[in-house]
Amino acid sequence: MTTAFLFPGQGSQAVGMGKSLAETYPVARAVFDEVDEALSQKLSAVMWDGPLETLTLTANAQPALLAVSLAVIRVLEAEAGLDLKRDAAFVAGHSLGEYAALAAAGTFGIADAARLLRIRGDSMQQAVPPGEGAMAALLGADLDLARAIAADAAQGAVCEVANDNGGGQVVLSGAKAAIDRAIVLAGERGVRRAMLLPVSAPFHCSMMLPAAEAMRAALGKVAMLAPVVPVMANVGAAPLVEPAAIRDSLVAQVTGTVRWRECVEAMTAAGVTRFVEVGSGKVLTGLVKRIATGATPISVGTADDIAGYKP
């Protein structure tokens, strides 16, 4: 059975995530302590005790989700004998999850990855003034229809495809007025449901260009190694192993479309039959079920999940 390990993105955060891991496994606790130290913040306390509003802040949610995913990986290595180089064909992460995937595969250290995601979260939040941008999910739309709706709704403003998640779920991002127009057009064109998302900025569109430049500068200062297994990159939906190409891809990802459907399809075409979602929640597990029928998706995010994990 050929396996890929998947790492979730923003929206999978929940108060209490990772707490059972830290209480059960010293190697997990060490990950949370390292992230806290890297950020000079007791982020683990926010993760375990809330409030949810503080955890959901982009600058907190991104390194917090990274911490949980890497804690799970470290426990699987210690308790289940996981060796990504031996046991995985690919790693892949959804948006910020790509940083967790790369850290798990050895491209970044934990502290560097946490600091990069704090910079990423802050710069994405600051790129667009509050209220000027928005995102909307189109449910029951394929990519071509979503692109056509975005083009017609733009009317000179930014309205772009942010995520092609698969299973008929496409997310648009851009100027608030354009996104509002897109929601109306979606209803007129037979999209099953179109709804605004509760986000604080229009991620993965050209309005994020200032954040992309901030990440270019930040990534240029961090040592990067080749991952021990290829990362299936969001923006190219193709495997990468060269640090320079990975750096460029991570910069492009800030303003580019997360091509998640194509990433899963490419891994399936390469022979992957099992997808292991590592970290908080089961969002990617659900998406894989809709994209790769016949594959085996599982999620590993708690101490109980780890106890039942089979290599």
Q: Which residue among the candidates 69, 95, 123, 173 is catalytic per the annotation?
A: 95
Count Cα neighbours of 173 within 13 Å in the Cβ-side half-sphere.
22
DSSP characters over 208-248: GHHHHHHHHHHHTTS-----SS-EE-TTT-SEE--HHHHHH
221, burial (CB in 10 Å: exposed 0-12, middle 13-18, buried 19+): exposed
3-state helix, strand, coil in the chain (%, to 5): 50, 15, 30
**Residue among 126, 99, 138 at smallest CA distance from 207:** 126
- Which two structure tokens, joined as six digits, stand for 263? 């990433």
For tokens 């802040």, the residue is 57
Establish whether 94 is a catalytic residue.
no
Q: Which residue among the candidates 44, 173, 204, 249 is catalytic per the annotation?
A: 204
DSSP characters over 78-119: HHS---HHHH-SEEEESTTHHHHHHHHTTSS-HHHHHHHHHH
Catalytic positions: 95, 204
